Amino acid sequence: MAPPVVPRTRPTPHDVTVTDPALVRRAVKAAALGNAMEWFDFGVYSYIAVTLGKVFFPGGSATAQLLSTFGAFAAAFLVRPLGGMVFGPLGDRVGRQKILAVTMIMMAAGTFAIGLIPSYATLGVGAPLLLLAARLVQGFSTGGEYAGASTFIAEYAPDRRRGFFGSWLEFGTLAGYIGGAGLVTVLTALLSEQDLLSWGWRVPFLIAGPMGLIGLYLRLRLEETPAFAAEVTKAERNRPRVPLREMVTGQWRTLLLCMGLVLVFNVTDYMLLSYMPSYLTSELKYDETHGLLVVLGVMALMMIVQPFAGALSDRVGRRPVIAAGCAGFLFLSVPALLLIREGSLFAIALGMGALGLLLVCFTAAMPAALPALFPTRVRYGSLSIGFNVSVSLFGGTTPLVVTALIGATGNVMMPAYYMMAAAVVGGAAVWFMRESAGRPLPGSRPSLEPHELG
């Protein structure tokens, strides 16, 4: 395999990397678009789940249809760690850019394929099986996406602005979710139920094809990151290839730290953006449409604040920003949920907005903090494993676990208590993590903007 293309950077007598601002912006766009596509699918699938249940699982009750649809959705989380174990080490071996191009193709193909699957009425039991297969392809590719995208941005960004540039990765997440959910909302409003069932549900999934081609084009135009190119040079000087086992056993303390940070990040994320609409409807008997619109409004607010919070993490550090989020969820989860349970639109918006702003502490700082945990030679692989195992065990299971806890205890405040528990774990992880703001990534040279040389 041909060696990676060395990026347009200028070595200086001080042995630093001088970033190309235009290239950094292109890297951020290409990485964020992949994340946006992943969450576009998440938004589409979540909002159109009832329709998909009727199309692919018509034999059961409405509840059975919905459970079957979300069962296929949850299956993707089971294979995410496997995808991380495959794509992560490959990213450390053959390059970040190549693997991110592969994951983009697979994500787009999996989502596009869902739009082409015949209905149960046409194909019978083969239809839900094909839906499951497409979801497994999506989940497998996602296992290499987030860790690769955050690593890609972190290794391109200058040390002093890594938080700002990294924050755009989660900006893409929010934009993708809003885009997917918004498109389904528009289709539902414009089409009759019959049209939605016969062909309308396919439209959002088919859009993934052109989106994927655009993302692939952007990613293929990029060069390899400076940090990885430098690591290739070291490897050519008899540096041994890192086996998967070393990515785990050789980094086990840091992996546990990573999993703790990812736990609080994803438990609160899935709680707010995925579970709360169902909580408003099932527990508070709130109108479903209004509940979804409140969540979309919260995400729009988060998008506005996101880059500013990322820049703040560059100024004051990742640890203070993440710690503030943990403290906020520990002390404000109960008051926020009590506000939400008050039931008025203003109270719900205020409680959800407060949780959303706390979540920004994680969405803005984590994309820069997580890659900085690991040295360059194992960064993609170790981060992929730690991130995806934690998401699969804790993040993706949040709605299911909280629903089960409410059913078992009858305590409707369980969402608050669950977020508080996650905040304690996250706070412990922050205590042990090292500050990385403004510092070179482990194993990499200092990365400066051109004006910093003067």
d(C-alpha 335, C-alpha 347), whole Å: 11
Q: Write down the pLDDT at residue 70.
A: 66
At residue 47, the pLDDT reads: 74
Could you tell me which residues are beta bridge partners of residue 447?
Answer: 17
Residue 448: phi, psi to the nearest 5?
-120, 155
pLDDT for position 66: 60
Per-residue pLDDT of the chain (454 residues; tens, 9 = 90+): 444 444 444 444 458 888 888 889 988 988 888 788 878 887 787 777 778 888 888 776 666 666 666 676 677 788 889 999 899 889 888 888 899 989 988 888 888 999 999 988 888 888 888 988 888 888 898 888 889 999 999 999 999 999 999 999 999 989 998 888 888 888 888 888 888 888 998 998 998 888 888 888 888 888 888 888 887 777 665 444 665 666 666 688 899 999 999 999 999 998 888 788 777 876 777 766 677 788 889 999 999 999 999 999 999 999 999 999 999 999 999 999 999 998 888 899 999 999 999 999 999 999 999 999 999 888 998 999 999 999 988 887 787 788 788 888 889 899 999 999 999 999 999 999 999 999 999 988 888 888 777 6
Q: Report helix, strand or coil for 7.
A: coil
Is the CATH number of domain 16-241 1.10.287.610? no
Query: Is the distance from CB of 130 to CB of 102 less than 8 angstroms?
Result: no
Categorise residue 445: left if φ over 0, alpha if ψ from -120 to 50, beta otherwise.
Answer: beta
Q: What residue has token string 């893409």?
A: 172
Write the DSSP assignment of 192-228 as a string of letters: -HHHIIIIITHHHHHTHHHHHHHHHHHHHTPPPPHHH
Token pair of 390, please?
A: 């934690």
Cα–Cα distance between 162 and 440 in angstroms, integer?
10
284: amino acid identity, one letter: L
Instruction: Pick the closest to residue 73 from 102, 110, 117, 99 (CA basis).
Output: 110
pLDDT for res 323: 97
The CA distance from 52 to 202, in Å, is 10
Domain ranges in the chain are: 16-241, 252-373+397-435
Q: 252-373+397-435 has which CATH code?
A: 1.20.1250
The whole-number pLDDT of residue 264 equals 96
Here the tokens at position 423 are 């905040």
CA distance 92 to 338: 46
Helix and strand tally (H, E) in the chain? 21, 2
**Same-fold call for 16-241 versus 252-373+397-435:** yes
Find out whether 263 and 237 touch, Cβ atoms under 8 Å: no
Rounded distance between C-alpha atoms, residue 66 and residue 54, angstroms: 9
Count Cβ atoms below 10 Å from residue 180 Cβ, excluding itself: 28
Average pLDDT of the chain, as a whole number: 85
Instruction: State residue 7's pLDDT score.
Output: 46
Q: Backbone phi, then psi, for 18, in 5-degree steps?
A: -100, 120
pLDDT in tens, 197-250: 889 989 989 988 888 888 888 888 888 888 888 877 776 654 446 656 666 666
48: three-class secondary structure by DSSP: coil
The per-residue DSSP string of 134-175 comes to HHHHHHHHHTTHHHHHHHHHHHHS-GGGHHHHHHHHHHHHHH
Structure confidence at residue 241 (pLDDT): 60
